[in-house]
A = this chain, B = another copy of it.
Amino acid sequence: MRYQFYYWPEIQGRGEFVRLALEGAGADYDDVAREQRGMQQMLAIMRGDEKRPPFAPPFLKAGRLTIAQVANILFWLGPGLKLAPEGEAGRLWLHQLQLTVTDFVKEVHDTHHPLGPALYYEDAKPEAKRYTQNFLKERAPKYLGYFETALSRSGGPWLLGRKLTYGDLSMFQLIEGLRYAFPNGAKRIERKLRGLVGVHDRVAERKNIAAYLSSDRRIPFNESGIFRRYGELDE
């Protein structure tokens, strides 16, 4: 099946967790909004009268199904892409971890937008600093330490055990994003994340992922996405 993926064309953002799964599995997909007139198509769907409208991008179309919310998309895609376990309990566990990734990503976003999306970064800079200080000291180590624990209890080498899942691709993206946004903070935090850093490195070396990362399909990190580099926020 060929998938139509819809997300803002100039950022990795939340959509990147889905792109990594599609790319990692070598799936057949259109990154619609990056194609000519694609943005208009995406906006037309969002402003249109879908019976089951997405609240926001990303969303995916697969035949007659339109599905939104990153973790929901991955939960649905995972089995078909062979990036999820066979059994129900394993799939729910993977989904649970992905929902915790979602929570973490929201907190990453809030490092530069603690007072909500209506203000520019420049208009809430002192607040961003206060927020990020706690984020780097407490929140990021807590979330990532949790994933490290989950990995170690699975027996490894992957987050769920012997087989790669979309959760590992998300771990790659979290580490990669933190390194971009907070080079110093990430270096300190990573000292206690040996297992996750291993997952990151092995994901980066996989054939499909390596090809994707060196292609122009991988949008570089930038200051419109979730992970932003504002030197003054780092340690």
Partner-B contacts on A (CB < 8 A): 49-55, 65, 67-69, 71-72, 75-76, 89, 92-93, 95-96, 99-100, 102-103, 106-107, 110, 114-119, 124, 127, 130-131, 134-135, 138-139, 143, 146, 149-150, 153-154
List B contacts of A55 (CB < 8 A): 100, 103, 143, 146
Contact of A114 among B114, B135, B143 (CB under 8 A): B114
Count identical subunits in the complex: 2
Provide the bound-state CA to CA distance between A100 and B92, in Å. Answer: 18
Chain A binding surface, main DSSP class: helix
Query: In the assembly, what is the distance between CA of A72 and CA of B94, in Å?
Result: 10
Q: Contact at A68–B96, with CB atoms within 8 Å?
A: yes
- Report yes or no: B69 in contact with A100, Cβ–Cβ below 8 A: yes
- 15 A-B residue pairings within 8 Å (CB atoms): A52-B96, A53-B146, A53-B150, A54-B96, A55-B103, A65-B89, A68-B96, A69-B95, A75-B95, A103-B106, A114-B114, A114-B116, A116-B138, A116-B139, A117-B134
Query: B76 contacts A92, CB within 8 Å?
Result: yes
What's the minimum C-beta distance from A230 to chain B, rounded to whole angstroms?
Answer: 16
Smallest beta-carbon distance A149→chain B, Å:
6
10 additional contacts, CB 8 Å, given A55-B100, A103-B106, A116-B138?
A: A51-B154, A52-B150, A54-B96, A55-B146, A72-B92, A72-B95, A99-B102, A110-B116, A116-B134, A118-B138
A153 and B49 contacting across the interface, CB-CB below 8 Å:
yes
Query: Complex Cα distance A51/B154, Å?
Result: 7
How far, in whole Å, are A138 and B72 apart by their CA atoms in the complex?
A: 25
Q: Which residues of B contact A65 (CB under 8 A)?
A: 89, 92
Write the chain B residue with the least CB distance to A52. B93
Given contacts A76-B92, A115-B114, contact A99 B71 (CB under 8 A): yes
Closest-CB distance, A133 to chain B (whole angstroms): 9
